[in-house]
Amino acid sequence: MIDALIQFDFMRYSVICGMLIGILAPLIGTFIVVRRLSLIADALSHVTLGGISFGMLLTKLVPAIVISPVWSGIAFSIIGALLIERLRTVYKHYEELAIPIIMSLGIGLSVVFISLADGFNQDLFGYLFGSISAVTFSDLLTIAAIFLIVVCFVVLFYKELFVLSFDEEYAQIIGVPRLLHILFMLVVALVISASMRVVGILLVSSLITLPVASAMRFARGYKALMLWSVIFGEAAVIAGLILAFYMNISPGGIIVLLLIVILLGSIIYQKRREGGLVNED
């Protein structure tokens, strides 16, 4: 693989993008999981798939209009995030309804657009499950820009996001602006869009939630939770890319399976640690 990294540009792009995504997804995932909004990632990923398929369909119907599926996916994801936030205000006592509504919309749009575009092709398969060879320099620049935006957002608004994650009503009382809710949803949409090239749209929610689920088994404190989540996510992405290269398969599935192994290991570690403490007592 070292020779391939030296020889092929797309390999270097894939590894760099994977390392950035391995930080981004678990980082924003800590806020999502603690807020008990894990299914938002699934909802927005399906909406993003609708955007990708729409971009491919539009390019097919009007060849003069060349729209990158990445950008159409980002646009749809942002719109989906705004709709979720809007519906959460409409259903004030049943805010969780916003997620399945938008997920259903995304699935419906995806099926229609994919059918009109004559079904699956190799490019769409890469977006669904990730692809090492499909990552371009343009994708790298896009992901790097999203990385900077998300990291700056988390650093600047860490205290507000922390309060918002644990108690949304208290955050409102102390004056955390409603705009921050909307910005957070937009950031989630950007992270999902950035992750689709390496992990794949259908598996990106796993990279957002599984590292956090593993870290929660033993992390003490919120910052420790974020740190361990990023470590687990980064380890799974790098190892997954290496295995996918040698096995000649899509990296998304391997990355998710590695995250499951890490989760099981964290559960076993906690059980043994609790057992040891009981024996000492």
Q: Residues 8-52: pLDDT tens digits?
A: 666 787 888 888 988 998 999 999 888 887 788 888 888 888 888
% of the chain residues with pLDDT over 90: 15
Q: Residues 199-208: pLDDT tens digits?
A: 877 788 888 9
Query: From CA 179, how far away is CA 170, in angstroms rounded?
Result: 16
pLDDT tops 80 at residue 276:
no
54, 72 contact by CB (below 8 A): yes
| Tokens representing residue 267 in the block | 């559960």
193, 74 contact by CB (below 8 A): yes
Tally of CA atoms within 13 A in the half-sphere of 116 that contains its CB: 17
Q: Delineate the domains of the chain, giving CATH numbers in brackets.
A: 2-276 (1.10.3470.10)
Amino acid (1-letter code) at residue 241: L
> Whole-number mean pLDDT of the chain?
82
Query: From CA 199, how far away is CA 1, in angstroms rounded?
Result: 19
Q: Residues 169-184: pLDDT tens digits?
A: 777 777 778 788 888 8
Could you tell me which of 45, 20, 19 has the C-alpha nearest to residue 32? 45
pLDDT tops 60 at residue 278:
no
The values of phi and psi at residue 220, to 5°, are -110, 110
Query: From CA 73, how far away is CA 80, in angstroms rounded?
Result: 10
Instruction: Identify the band that residue 279 occupies on the pLDDT scale cut at 50, 70 and 90.
Output: low
Residues 199-223, mean pLDDT to the nearest whole number: 86
Helices (H), the chain: 2-7, 9-34, 39-61, 69-90, 98-116, 122-129, 137-156, 158-166, 168-173, 178-195, 204-215, 222-247, 251-280
SS3 call for 121: coil
* DSSP 8-state class, residue 218: T
Show Cβ contacts of residue 210 under 8 Å, excluding neighbours closer than 6 positions.
232, 256, 259, 260, 262, 263
* DSSP 8-state class, residue 120: -
pTM of this structure: 0.84
